[in-house]
Amino acid sequence: MKTVHIDASRSYDVRIGRGLLDDCGRQIAERVRCASAAVVADDTVYALYGERVCASLEAAGVRTVCYVFPHGEKSKNLLEYAKILNFLAENRVTRADALIALGGGVTGDLGGFAAATYLRGIPFVQLPTTLLAAVDSSVGGKTAVDLPAGKNLVGAFCQPSLVLCDPHVLSTLPDPIFYDGCAEVIKAAMLKSHTFFEDLDKTSPREQLEHILEFCIAMKRDVVEEDEFDTGARQMLNLGHTFGHAVEAASNFSISHGCAVSIGMVMMTRAAVKKGYCKEDVLEQLIALLKKYHLPTEVPYPASELLDIVRSDKKTMGSTVTLIVPEKIGRCTLVPIQAVDVLDWLTAGGAE
Ligand code: NAD
Ligand code: MG
């Protein structure tokens, strides 16, 4: 069992270990001390793990109620959010209770936002069941739902009280969803560690899950502790995302987030080579590793199409755009550019 402790506006532990799912009742009862727990899960995850989580909580003396919603990003909306709030109220959930988000990033973001706002905030616990949720969304306290105008447009910063990460639950993840999460793992290596990049290259990810989870969660802890509310250093986590978001949006979200981030990292690294920030072999090694992880590396849209989307992205501040540019494997730098220069970077990145 590994523990990563996070000191943000709320201090909490992220525990990593096989068997934590079935032990979650004891873990939650000890650290969160709730009388009852509202378990929120999508239908797929509930069918796989819901009863085990409830049984563990009940065995630890925590009464449970369950809210199950249809899986998928389409549920991360205001209507589903309101349904959860009504469910909590109807079941007389109070601040002495807790919300347990059991699932991927959709469940964590949706359930977390309900917990952040119901009764002005109740404790919540993340039980991530996708690789993406384990290494990224369950840690750091960003919660949100989507609006028709765009993703994550309504939300709150709200740190969980506890995160329990059982690598065993990732064994039921379909390969495409698993590898999609690997894009964020490779991003962590590009940002922070050449050694970790080599680890990813040498050993298959399913054979070193604990190592991957511990590295990525510790990396995110460092960034979140430095800049919890995303006003500076946390921008580094956007490596591959500036152009990646544009690819995702241009595809009308038929290209998944991880695949889009993979393409975005390749574009940014290729542009970095052309502009003298890093050497050619960094690009070659990145492309080889992404391919090994079944992630795409070709740019599927013309620069003109991506340009409009980058400019309207919410991370565009006024007339400047901050790019996260690789210098070598394990080190990147923030490069603010003028909005008028985005086209030049897109073209240097390989968009025609
Ligand atoms: P998701 O929660 O929709 O899960 C993907 C699919 O996998 C779902 O269909 C789900 O039912 C299924 N699933 C989950 N766990 C499973 C398991 N163990 N076995 C079998 N199937 C399983 O999506 P996701 O990729 O986990 O997360 C994407 C979301 O995360 C997006 O909405 C994104 O905006 C958000 N996100 C948030 C943050 C943050 O900091 N809050 C960071 C990154 C991403
Ligand atoms: Mg991401």
pLDDT in tens, the chain (352 residues): 999 999 999 999 999 999 999 999 999 999 998 999 999 999 999 999 999 999 999 999 999 999 999 999 999 999 999 999 999 999 999 999 999 999 999 999 999 999 999 999 999 999 999 999 999 999 999 999 999 988 899 999 999 999 999 999 999 999 999 999 999 999 999 999 999 999 999 999 999 999 999 999 999 999 999 999 988 889 999 999 999 999 999 999 999 999 999 999 999 999 999 999 999 999 999 999 999 999 999 999 999 999 988 877 655 556 788 999 999 999 999 999 998 899 999 999 999 9
Nearest CA to ligand 1 atom 30: 105
**Does 141 contact ligand 1 (Cβ within 6 A)?**
no
Nearest CA to ligand 1 atom 1: 104
Shortest-distance ligand to the CA of residue 151 = 1
Per-residue DSSP letter, 134: I
Instruction: Report the SS3 class of residue 338.
Output: strand
**Does 42 contact ligand 1 (Cβ within 6 A)?**
yes
- How far is Cα of residue 155 from the mean position of the Cα atoms in its chain? 15
Q: How far is the CA of 206 from the centre of ligand 2 (A)?
A: 20
**Does 77 contact ligand 1 (Cβ within 6 A)?**
no
Mutation to probe ligand 1, out of 137, 153, 157 (largest number of atoms < 8 A from CB): 137
Host H or E run for residue 37: strand 36-42
Could you tell me if 211 and 183 are in contact, meaning their C-beta atoms sit under 8 angstroms apart? no
Residue 51 identity (one-letter amino acid): E
Instruction: Tell me phi and psi for residue 37, to 5 degrees.
Output: -130, 135
**Does 71 contact ligand 1 (Cβ within 6 A)?**
yes
What angle is formed at CA 155 by the lines to CA 321 and CA 252, rounded to 5 degrees?
60
**Does 152 contact ligand 1 (Cβ within 6 A)?**
yes
**Does 224 contact ligand 1 (Cβ within 6 A)?**
no
What angle is formed at CA 29 by the lines to CA 157 and CA 169, rounded to 5 degrees?
70
Residue with tokens 């190592």: 211
Buried b (16+ CB within 10 A) or exposed e, 163-198: bbbbbebbeebeeeebbbbbbbbbbbbbbbbeebbe
* Separation between Cα atoms, residue 166 and residue 169, nearest integer Å: 6
Could you tell me if 139 and 127 are in contact, meaning their C-beta atoms sit under 8 angstroms apart? no
Q: Write the DSSP assignment of 236-286 as a string of letters.
A: GGGTTHHHHHHHHHHTTT-S-HHHHHHHHHHHHHHHHHHTTSS-HHHHHHH
**Does 52 contact ligand 1 (Cβ within 6 A)?**
no
Q: How far is the CA of 7 from the centre of ligand 1 (A)?
A: 25
**Does 333 contact ligand 1 (Cβ within 6 A)?**
no
Give the global pTM: 0.95
